[in-house]
Structure 1
Amino acid sequence: MEEPQRRIRAHCTASTVTVYQAYSPEIGTPAVHQGRFPAGWKRDRMTWVIKPLS
C-alpha cells in the first residue's frame, strides 16, 4: 500500500482528542530545544479541531 501524502494522526478518549502536528526542522528543532516556538511559527496557521459533545 502506498503511503498517503497527508495523514492525520490522533488519539482520542471519551474526554480528549490529541492530534499530532509535524513541523519543519526550522520550527521543530528550536521548539524542542527552547521549549517554545520560534519567531517563524505563526499562530494564524493553526487549525483547531473541536470534538462534538455527543
Structure 2
Amino acid sequence: MTVPQAAEVLGISAVSLYKLIQNDKSFPVISIGRRKTIPKEQLKVWINSNCKR
C-alpha cells in the first residue's frame, strides 16, 4: 500500500508517517528508488507488536 493509504489506516498524516518511517527502523517499508510502499500483512504485524493495550 502507499504511504497515504497506510497513514489513513493508522489515523495519522502522510507527513507523520514519513517521519515514522525515517525514525523507526522496525517499521515495515520497501523502498524502490524514491517510492516507498508498505506491505499490508507486515503493517498488521507491526501494529500488533507496537500497540499498547
Q: TM-score range by the shorter chain?
A: under 0.3
Higher percent of residues as helix: 2
Q: TM-score, normalised by structure 1?
A: 0.26
Larger radius of gyration: 1
